[in-house]
Structure 1
Amino acid sequence: MINGMAGFAFAKLQFTGKKVLFGILLALLIVPFETILISQFRIIHKIGLVDTRLAVILPALAGAFNIYLFRNFFMAIPEEMIESAKLNGANTWQIFWRIMIPMSKPAVATVGTLAFIGSWNDYIWPLMVLTDKCSFKIKFDQKSY
């Protein structure tokens, strides 16, 4: 839902620096993951999350493409829907959860499917952060040859 919240903010909210942040988001789409792999590992190591499941989950919570997908989906929703909700007394949080998310089920399904496929095919990041020393020991005590 982090992707959805960011996409909603880029699509429907007005704040300073919106165009600059969206430009940075678009620039992140062309940066390959391998270029930030070592710096991301250093951050996970400093936080102390190496050899935990959170080290695999946290970096995958938000993605530039997913935010871009949600933003484009929310741009297609008419502004009159938000205005009518505001007239009925809904705040921004209620508009997001009660109007935008139920209307964006196709985008949620698409992002969920793409996130599943991406994490299923990811090999290098879990290999780096899940480095339990016990799993790499080879026992030569037993004669298996």
Structure 2
Amino acid sequence: MSAPAAVPPGAARPHGSAGTSGSATPRRPARRRRLPFSAWHLVLAPLSLGFALPLVWLVLSSVMTNAEINRFPPSLWPAGVDLGGYDYVLGNAMFPRWFANSSVVAVTAVLSNLVLGSLGGYAFARMRFAGSRLLLGLMLATMVIPFQLTMIPTFLVMKNLGLIDTLGALIVPSLVTPFAVFLFRQFFLALPRELEEAAWIDGCSRLRVLYSVVLPLARPALATVAVLTFLTTWNDLTWPLIAINHDTQYTLQLGLTTFQGQHHNRWSAIMAGNVITVLPVLVAFLFAQKTFIQSLTSSGLKG
């Protein structure tokens, strides 16, 4: 048997020929350099900074003096922290009373929407009764009706109830909203029925199942309803402007509008009042941010 022919130095080996080890060593693919963060952050970071600039300027202006605010060109950074605007707002205006009024209205609306909205949403999601689909459709249809069409009828109802110029006129129309009922219904439909059936076997009533089994799983929906209801009620200006006449019953938004008209030359105090108005909404959103985003991004649970 003849020996294989030697391959001259520098000549290419034929395809499939084995090396000294009997097999060719495969080349490893080159590693791509990856950013430590998503590439979308390069776009979202400047956008978020642009949205945050007005809020930063509002806070900085609230600790400036009137001379610094009125200076041209304007000062981008205060020479020192001046709390004169906050002292003027809290000491020479009815801001504490207006803040308390807004807090009562907003907190009551949030609690009532959580309780009544969860009850209505659970009824539409789990109970079948005559006309349930028609009633749900009519309720959802009210969401597309602009407030300008219901403003006068709501005023007449509140007037007949004797609630005009009281906080009750602001609380009663916001006790429950179709959006809260619809959001709870959609979330409850995504929950597996097996969890509720196990509680029914143990002898729990529907209300006990709702508050002991279903609602602990619905924290994202609860946070979403709470944040949106608080935001809507706290920032409402149109309805308080119609239903409230006396300054002792003003909400913070209505009082701030009146305050700006009376003190248009005290910009530091106006900026301080705006900071006080924005701060509760910002704190409420940051407190419920995780569950709020989870509710918006989740598509439901699977059994």
Q: Point out 4+ residue stretches in structure 1 off by more than 3 angstroms.
A: none
Determine whether 1:104 maps to 2:181: no
The root-mean-square deviation of aligned C-alpha atoms, in Å, is 1.6
Determine whether 1:60 maps to 2:180: no
Distance in structure 1 (CA, Å) of the matches to 2:143 and 2:224? 18
Runs (5+) with no aligned partner, structure 2: 1-114, 250-303
Shift of 1:28: 1.1
Code of the aligned partner of 2:147: F
> 2:154: which partner in 1?
40
Q: Which has the larger radius of gyration?
A: 2
> 1:75: which partner in 2?
189
Shift of 1:41: 0.7
> 2:230: which partner in 1?
116
Code of the aligned partner of 2:161: I
The more displaced of 117-126 and 36-45 is 117-126
Distance in structure 2 (CA, Å) of the matches to 1:92 and 1:113? 27
* RCO comparison, higher one (Cα < 8 Å, 6+): 1
> 1:86: which partner in 2?
200
Secondary structure of the 2:118 match is helix
> 2:145: which partner in 1?
31
After superposition, the Cα gap between the structure-2 partners of 1:134 and 1:72, relative to the gap in structure 1 and judged at 3 Å, is closer
> 1:140: which partner in 2?
none
Whichever structure has more helix as a proportion of its residues is 1
> 1:49: which partner in 2?
163
Distance in structure 1 (CA, Å) of the matches to 2:118 and 2:247? 38
Runs (5+) with no aligned partner, structure 1: 136-145
- What is the aligned length? 135
Distance in structure 1 (CA, Å) of the matches to 2:229 and 2:129? 28
After the TM superposition, which residues 8-19 of structure 1 pair with which residues of structure 2 at under 5 Å, given as runs?
Answer: 8-19=122-133
After superposition, the Cα gap between the structure-2 partners of 1:122 and 1:83, relative to the gap in structure 1 and judged at 3 Å, is same
Q: Percent identity among equivalent residues?
A: 36
Secondary structure of the 1:131 match is coil
Code of the aligned partner of 1:24: L
Determine whether 1:132 maps to 2:214: no
TM-score of the superposition, structure 1-length normalised? Answer: 0.88
